[in-house]
């Protein structure tokens, strides 16, 4: 049987694959893994590989939920056949097809700065900390569900209620666009940085974000919203 070079297939797999040497240095990584390592360190992945490695040579699959910014994985496969190298496959969580599910009922042309300001005023009634707002007032009006977006913001703000400081940045995301129902739109980036209270329900935030066709990312000390500027 002729030998087949599998490298091309691994290289272009949409699931990240990384091969480490025994000191944790990367010996090989495919394209998806390169993108993933833009959001987390190779040490984090190496530690995960070691923690879930099979007891002896071979492969061990584990089902576990891993999240690195917008990347979500439902499981991993850790493999080694000698003492020198250890490989890890991370399996992407199947993505919903949000574009097809987006319902734009109740969306109306909105000045996001005005809506944000109203929400800040509400939060500021009881908030004891300091709010720093950095915004682009030139963002044009676009379609939003004003009540649902405010409901989402209220829940996000309440996750920062004990934070001494809350930084809010609103801007147009450069170099990236989003395609919704075959049309492409700019992305508005809303970042809220401060000390997050972990008890805030992620599920509820995601549900509310989905209702608004918004991509929500929760980081250690920030919540980031990617809002499609539908016009």
Partner 1 sequence: MKTVQFLSNSIHIDKISKGLNLTRSLFVSSLLTGEEHTGKKTFIRTLFPTAIYVDASHETELLTALELNHELIIYNFEKIVNLEKLDFEHKRIIAIANSVKEPKKLSKTFAFIYKMPSLKEREDLNLLIKHFQVESKEALMLNEDIQLDIEALDLNQNIKSLKASIYKQMLLKTIKKEEIKSLLYAYLFKEIEGNNAYREHLTLYEEPLLKAGLKKYKSQLKLAGVLGLNRNTLRKKLQEYDIN
Chain residues binding partner 1 by CB under 8 A are 105-106, 108, 110, 114-115, 117-119, 121-122, 124-125, 146-148, 150-151, 153-154
Q: If we measure between CA atoms, which residue out of 70, 63, 58 comes closest to residue 90?
A: 63
| Smallest distance from partner 1 to CB 225, Å | 16
Distance CA 139, CA 147 (A): 20
Between residues 43 and 207, which has the closer beta carbon with respect to partner 1? 207
CA distances (Å), origin 125, targets 44, 118, 119, 120, 128:
40, 11, 10, 9, 9
| Smallest distance from partner 1 to CB 123, Å | 10
Q: If we measure between CA atoms, which residue out of 116, 124, 133 comes closest to residue 193?
A: 133
Between residues 104 and 132, which has the closer beta carbon with respect to partner 1? 104
Between residues 58 and 106, which has the closer beta carbon with respect to partner 1? 106
| Smallest distance from partner 1 to CB 128, Å | 13
| Smallest distance from partner 1 to CB 103, Å | 12
Between residues 21 and 108, which has the closer beta carbon with respect to partner 1? 108
CA distances (Å), origin 34, targets 12, 42, 45, 177:
11, 10, 12, 21
Between residues 147 and 202, which has the closer beta carbon with respect to partner 1? 147
| Smallest distance from partner 1 to CB 112, Å | 11
H/E stretch holding 191 reads: strand 183-193
């Amino acid at each position: 049987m002729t030998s087949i070079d599998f490298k091309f297939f691994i290289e272009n797999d949409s699931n990240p694959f990384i091969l480490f040497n025994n000191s944790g240095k990367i010996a090989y990584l495919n394209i998806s893994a390169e993108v993933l390592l833009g959001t987390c360190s190779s040490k984090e992945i190496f530690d995960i590989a070691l923690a879930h490695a099979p007891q002896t040579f071979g492969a061990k699959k584990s089902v576990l939920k891993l999240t690195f910014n917008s990347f979500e994985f439902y499981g991993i496969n850790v493999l080694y056949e000698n003492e020198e190298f250890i490989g890890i496959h991370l399996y992407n969580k199947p993505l919903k097809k949000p574009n097809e599910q987006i319902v734009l009922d109740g969306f109306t042309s909105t000045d996001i700065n005005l809506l944000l300001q109203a929400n800040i005023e509400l939060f500021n009634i009881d908030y004891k900390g300091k709010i720093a707002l950095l915004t682009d007032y030139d963002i044009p009006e676009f379609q939003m569900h004003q009540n649902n977006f405010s409901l989402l913001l209220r829940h996000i703000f309440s996750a920062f209620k004990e934070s001494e400081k809350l930084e809010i940045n609103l801007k147009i995301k450069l170099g990236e666009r989003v395609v919704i129902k075959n049309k492409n739109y700019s992305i508005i980036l809303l970042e809220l940085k401060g000390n997050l209270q972990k008890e805030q329900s992620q599920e509820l935030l995601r549900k509310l974000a989905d209702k608004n066709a918004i991509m929500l990312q929760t980081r250690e000390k920030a919540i980031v919203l990617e809002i499609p500027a539908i016009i």
